[in-house]
Amino acid sequence: MPLSVLLPLVGVGIIGIAVMLHVLGLSRAAQLPDEVAAKAAWLREFPDATPTRVILSHDHHAALIETDDGPGVVWAMGADTTARALSGARIRRTAKGLRIDLPDFTAPHIHLRLDPDEAAHWPTYMKDSA
């Protein structure tokens, strides 16, 4: 098959798959409907660090987790969630929420979209990590 036919065919196929996933609702970011879901997401990553407190963001795309080992965060990464402990983290406010810089090459920067009130208060709960 000539390249002039193959490239548009592949391009249209990729665009078609993306549109189909979006129409089916599979491109939506994950949500944490309640504290139980946030705890479960945390425990998938850190089964030995039992959450003692969970603070959900207003949009349910992130949760601040407090454990006996220190604070952590669960957030939506695409259609799934992930979690990180905040040990050694640097936290800064941004125009849209918080930026968390971690000493972890697998997630060196986390950008959390938070309401202004949340962005103001969450760092006080994360103080053990600074």
The whole-angstrom separation of Cα 84 and Cα 96 is 20
18 and 75 share a domain? Answer: no
pTM: 0.76
1 and 63 share a domain? Answer: no
Q: The domain containing residue 104 runs over which residues?
A: 35-129
Closest CA to 74 of 66, 59, 84: 84
Count Cβ atoms below 10 Å from residue 13 Cβ, excluding itself: 10
Query: What's at 109, amino acid-wise?
Result: H
Query: What tens digit of pLDDT does each residue of 83-125 get?
Result: 999 988 999 999 999 999 999 888 899 999 999 999 999 998 8
70 and 21 share a domain? Answer: no
50 and 94 share a domain? Answer: yes
11 and 44 share a domain? Answer: no
55 and 100 share a domain? Answer: yes
13 and 47 share a domain? Answer: no
Count Cβ atoms below 10 Å from residue 20 Cβ, excluding itself: 11
Cα dihedral sign for 33, 38, 40, 44? positive
Quote the number of domains for the chain.
2
Query: What tens digit of pLDDT does each residue of 58-93 get?
Result: 999 999 999 999 999 999 988 889 999 998 899 999
44 and 83 share a domain? Answer: yes
